[in-house]
Amino acid sequence: MSKVLRRALGWGAAYLVLALLPMAVVIALLRAETRGPGVEFGAMLGLLALSVMALQALVSGRHRWFGEALGYDNLLQFHRRMGLFALVLVVAHPVVMLTSRPAWLDYLDPRDETLRALTLVGLLIATLLLVATSLWRKAFGLCYEHWRALHGLLTVAVVGGGLGHALMVGHVTEGLTGWLIGGLIGLSLLLVAETRLLRPWRLRHRPWQVVETQPVLGDATTLVLAPMGRHRLVFAPGQFFWITLGDSPFQLQQHPFSIASSAERPERLAFTAKRLGDFTATLPEVPVGTRAFIEGPFGAFLPDPGNPSGAVMIAGGIGITPMMSILRTFADRGERLPLWLIYANPTWEEATFREELEALAERLCLEVIHVLGEPPEGWKGERGLVEPDLLARRLPADDGRRDYFICGPGPLMDAAEGALIDFGVAPTRLHSDRFDIV
């Protein structure tokens, strides 16, 4: 069993224990005079929903002691799926309860106990909005900064309201269970405070500034940052940072970007982004001298330079950025492990860094394979999509040790991952970067 799999199983087991412990205690201490199986089952669904919602702060908080072992990309996908699971639990809780005891429908009547009725309905609506605005942010017309503020407010409202509801009902939150639920909520609030308040407070003493803005192929922009002072950031190639532009780190505007520059040159950090979102569209206009604050590094998108089998990298569009950090670092270090890069783009004009990749291929033991959706006349390279037959034709046979790194649009990543697994590559040797929250 690989080290990554052992860590994932260990943290997965810890998560299950924390999520199920309050419910397990209630079941173990359940009184003989129960309210009927349907009501008790509905109550357990509500208790589990509250536990899952409280643990979302742990999963999404970018905590290195937790996230580095599993990969932040994996945690983001897990966070989203557990959010949907929590929504199902929140909806199922009143449905099961009211189906078992139809008389309790009176609790939703605002003419009797108006505050209670409005609170229960408000909790359900807040949960629906929390999930819907996360899944369909752009459809709601929310910019990232406004969504981030709304997401935080709705989360606090749902978790706080759910705790109040559970404690007021009292039947399943007496004694030890109440302390367990209160402890989970307290942990959640502490983690949120550490992420939103303590980290920016520490960052304010380590400002950076934009020293260069460069337009690059593919409708992209590279920002080069230098520290304002003697501080430095030590990072590994392939990692990413959260960046805040402005005079203060206490802002809603904070976005993740993969580092594109060499880890051997930490005094100048380069980030390259394509104009795809409401924030990245403004990057070409960022003036030199703009102050910035950097949180990180994060991520485990890291090739092993000691692996004699080398690494395969598959990139689509601007997904080339973490690969550029890897290649630039390896070139600066004089690494000679075998490397293969499959780089897919719609057109040749959108192949960001194509000229530098040619130069890097001369300095490294690197084979660059361009794949174009709409190749120019006379193109002799690969064309179409990154499909299984292309991977089988252009990549060496897997030897059971080589690692694979994939970054790009979702369809490309899905196709590449599926093909490599079909070829016999172990999932633990697939490293994917799917950050798409901006």
Give the tens place of pLDDT for each residue, 198-214.
888 989 889 999 999 99
Query: pTM higher than 0.95 for the full model?
Result: no
- Report the mean per-residue pLDDT for the chain: 85
Count Cα neighbours of 256 within 13 Å in the Cβ-side half-sphere.
19
Average pLDDT (251-279) is 88
Residues 370-422: pLDDT tens digits?
Answer: 999 999 988 988 999 899 999 999 999 988 899 999 999 888 999 999 999 99
pLDDT of 108? 72
Domain ends where: 249, 267, 298? 298
pLDDT of 76? 78
Say whether both 189 and 247 belong to one domain: no
Closest CA to 83 of 17, 156, 138, 135: 135
At 16, which CATH number?
1.20.120
Residues 1-20: pLDDT tens digits?
Answer: 556 667 777 878 888 888 88
Angle between helices 37-60 and 3-28 (to 10 degrees): 150
Domain ends where: 298, 321, 336? 298
Which residues touch 10 (CB under 8 Å, ≥6 apart)? none
Rg value, the chain, Cα: 25
Q: Is 325 exposed, middle or buried (0-12, 13-18, 19+ CB in 10 A)?
A: buried
Please report whether residue 214 resides in a domain: yes
Q: Is 189 exposed, middle or buried (0-12, 13-18, 19+ CB in 10 A)?
A: middle
More confident residue, 260 or 29: 260
Please report whether residue 339 resides in a domain: yes
Instruction: Kindly tell me if the per-residue pLDDT of 173 is higher than 90.
Output: no
Say whether both 61 and 112 belong to one domain: yes
Say whether both 288 and 184 belong to one domain: no
Q: Is 48 exposed, middle or buried (0-12, 13-18, 19+ CB in 10 A)?
A: buried
At 219, which CATH number?
2.40.30.10
Say whether both 198 and 212 belong to one domain: no
Say whether both 366 and 293 belong to one domain: no
Please report whether residue 216 resides in a domain: yes
Instruction: Kindly tell me if the per-residue pLDDT of 54 is higher than 90.
Output: no
Helix (H, G, I), strand (E, B) or coil at 403: strand
Please report whether residue 306 resides in a domain: no
% residues pLDDT > 90 (the chain) = 32
Worst-scoring range by mean pLDDT, 70-74, 139-143, 304-308, 358-362?
A: 70-74
Would you list the DSSP string of 312-350?
A: EEEEEGGGGHHHHHHHHHHHHHT----EEEEEEESSGGG
Between strands 220-227 and 208-216, the pairing is antiparallel
Please report whether residue 428 resides in a domain: yes
Domain ends where: 202, 230, 257? 202
Closest CA to 86 of 195, 172, 162: 162
Please report whether residue 374 resides in a domain: yes
Question: Omega before 266 cis (within 30°)?
Answer: no
**Total structural domains in the chain?**
3
Say whether both 124 and 240 belong to one domain: no
pLDDT of 438? 45
More confident residue, 366 or 56: 366
Say whether both 378 and 411 belong to one domain: yes
CA dist 251 → 60, 152, 190, 197 (Å)? 18, 13, 19, 10
Instruction: Kindly tell me if the per-residue pLDDT of 435 is higher than 70.
Output: no
CB 241 within 8 A of CB 221: no
Say whether both 244 and 183 belong to one domain: no
Say whether both 243 and 359 belong to one domain: no
More confident residue, 161 or 360: 360
pLDDT bin (cut points 50, 70, 90) of residue 160 is confident
Residues 75-107: pLDDT tens digits?
Answer: 777 888 888 898 888 888 888 888 888 877 777
More confident residue, 117 or 333: 333
pLDDT of 197? 85
Say whether both 224 and 165 belong to one domain: no
Please report whether residue 438 resides in a domain: no
Worst-scoring range by mean pLDDT, 26-35, 56-65, 141-150, 404-413?
A: 26-35
Residues 270-301: pLDDT tens digits?
Answer: 999 988 777 888 888 999 999 999 998 887 77
Average pLDDT (350-369) is 94
Say whether both 158 and 35 belong to one domain: yes
Range of the domain at 357: 311-433
Average pLDDT (144-163) is 82
Helix (H, G, I), strand (E, B) or coil at 405: strand
pLDDT of 2? 57
Please report whether residue 368 resides in a domain: yes
Token pair for residue 212?
A: 């260069």
Say whether both 271 and 340 belong to one domain: no
